[in-house]
Amino acid sequence: HTISHDLRDILSPVVTYMDYLREEYGEVLDGQMLQILGEVERQSERAIALLDDLLDLAQVGYVEASGQCVSLSHLIEEGKAELRVAGLLGSHRIEVSALPETWIPESLAYQLLVNLIRNACLYTDPQSGPIEVGCRQEGGLNIYYVRDHGLGVATEERQAIFDIFYRGQAVAQQRGTGVGLAIVRKIALRCQGDAWVEETPGGGATFCVSLPAQPPEAVAVNK
């Protein structure tokens, strides 16, 4: 809670300064510089939105519905652009099936999907096959998944891999913080869902997140 609060206080002036630069110097800055300012502002606003939601997560055991349906396909396109700028997308192919909209806040939905896609990009070879994003429905749950065709996750590591800072043996030498999957599971649990990993038929890992198709009743969860 404290870290999220302090980081938010740092980022808020960044957005203010971007607005000031555009208003005061927009006529003398070239198009590329204005585009850079816009991107800094956009990413800062996204970070502030995430920190606001993390502050909420730190204080309550339940995530309220966002008030409007969130298009996941739209968020994936934004996520691909972010990964491309960060140099992580490379030649990976992302194949997206039809995804039902979700009720959870947009910034949390974005974190769920982009963390899973980023994870697949980091730890799979583009030549191994496409990264597949889809959803299946079971009862009252939407089970969103990100499937790769890489090294997969050893059976004995499938539970621990969602622990914060845990790095699987197969990827321990590659870059990463061990936080992304922990964030995914934390958000899923707070939304009265869950997160787990399955084996991809033929080899690879399929990371799944279950979310209630409709906003559940506001009851506390102790996970």
d(CA 111, CA 104): 11
In angstroms, the first-to-last Cα distance of the chain is 18
Q: What pLDDT is stored for residue 100 in this prediction? A: 94
Regions of the chain with pLDDT less than 70: 53-54, 56-62, 165-178, 217-223
The tokens describing 11, both together, are 């980022």
Q: What pLDDT is stored for residue 143 in this prediction? A: 97
Query: In the block, which residue shows the tokens 């969130």?
Result: 70
Q: What pLDDT is stored for residue 223 in this prediction? A: 42
Q: Is 143 helix (H, G, I), strand (E, B) or coil?
A: strand
Q: Are 209 and 188 in contact (CB under 8 A)?
A: yes
Q: What pLDDT is stored for residue 219 in this prediction? A: 40
Q: What pLDDT is stored for residue 130 in this prediction? A: 94
Q: What pLDDT is stored for residue 165 in this prediction? A: 65
Q: What pLDDT is stored for residue 97 in this prediction? A: 94
The tokens describing 44, both together, are 């800062």
d(CA 212, CA 111): 17
Any bridge partners for residue 138, and if so which? Answer: 141
d(CA 99, CA 60): 28
Q: What pLDDT is stored for residue 221 in this prediction? A: 42
0.85 surpassed by pTM: no
pLDDT in tens, 175-189: 555 677 888 898 899
pLDDT in tens, 203-216: 999 999 999 999 87
